[in-house]
Amino acid sequence: MTGTVVNGRKGQAKNEIDVVALDKRAGRAEIRLIGGAKATVTRRSAADLDRLDRLKELLAEHGHDTGSAVLALFSMEGFQPDLVSTARRRGDVLLAGLPALVDAGDPMVVPGAR
């Protein structure tokens, strides 16, 4: 896992992606996770997920295999309730708050979990 930068449409803007995980077992790299990790004092919102959706689209436009990519948001302060609801409904979103990362007993929203 590492971060990267992807050019926007028509090469105008550079978009930073904090976390990218690749699966190279199939002989061709497949993007399995696209994530955002911000150390802010506000809860992550649906706007953060929308940004990851746009980045996933950009990566696909650049010819990368993003078909099974999970979108992951990491947060120190947690998540807005509407984002949690959306993540549970979609099934391709991972929400990991700081307590979940340091204490395995704290739940986080994981892909496919309802």
Q: What is the pLDDT of residues 50-66, one digit of tens each?
A: 999 999 999 898 888 99
Helical (H) or strand (E) element with 6: strand 2-7
Pairing between β-strand 30-38 and β-strand 2-7 as defined by DSSP bridges: unpaired
Phi, psi of 57 (to 5 degrees): -60, -45
Output the six-digit token pair for 78: 């947690």
Q: Does residue 109 have a pLDDT over 80?
A: no
Q: Which of 88, 70, 76 is nearest to 21 (CA)?
A: 70
As a whole number of Å, the end-to-end CA separation of the chain is 26
The pLDDT-based confidence of 87 (bands split at 50, 70, 90) is: very high
